[in-house]
């Protein structure tokens, strides 16, 4: 079952764009791990927040990706850019009006 994870990441003051650049660095490994979609964004009204919307082939694929050495290194590298605030939710996809 396709798994969705969407969330907000608080950026350290002045670090939002650096955090967004970090999160959008090309990663074939994510695709290989079962990541189907990984959109990163910002909102003018919330200048210290980075947004992510992810789709994965399964919740297990998402969990497993967090154990990849490259992903752990990326998380460690992002740490100085984060305020520690996080939000969001996850869900199991049941369908879409755009497909049968």
Give the integer Cα–Cα distance in Å for 50 and 33. Answer: 23
Question: 62: helix, coil or strand?
Answer: helix
Which residue stretch of 20-28, 61-69, 77-85 sits at the interface with its own copies (rule: CB under 8 A)? 20-28
Q: Could you give the CA distance from residue 25 to residue 83 in angstroms, rounded to a whole number?
A: 20
- Residues of span 58-87 touching its own copies by CB under 8 A: none
Pick from 37, 73, 75, 86: which binds its own copies (CB under 8 A)?
37
Report if residue 33 touches its own copies, rule: CB under 8 A: no
Asked if 56 is part of the footprint of its own copies (rule: CB under 8 A), the reply reads: no
**Which of 67, 79, 84, 100 touches its own copies by CB under 8 A?**
100
Q: How many residues bind its own copies (CB under 8 A)?
A: 36
43 closest CA partner among 25, 24, 18, 16: 16
Query: Hey, CA dihedral for 47, 19, 75, 77, is it positive or negative?
Result: negative
Q: Whose CA is closest to 3, among 36, 25, 48?
A: 36
- Contacting positions for its own copies (CB under 8 A): 2, 4, 6, 8, 20, 23-27, 30-31, 35, 37-44, 51, 53, 55, 89-100
């Amino acid at each position: 079952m396709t798994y969705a994870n969407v969330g907000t990441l608080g950026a350290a003051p002045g670090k939002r764009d650096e955090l967004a650049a970090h999160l959008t660095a090309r990663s074939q490994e994510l695709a290989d791990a079962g990541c189907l979609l990984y959109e990163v964004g910002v909102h003018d009204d919330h200048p210290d927040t980075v947004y992510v919307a992810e789709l994965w082939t399964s919740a297990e694929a998402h969990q497993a990706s967090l154990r990849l050495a490259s992903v752990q290194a990326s998380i460690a590298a992002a740490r100085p850019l984060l305020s520690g605030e996080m939000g969001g939710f996850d869900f199991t996809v049941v369908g879409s009006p755009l497909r049968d």
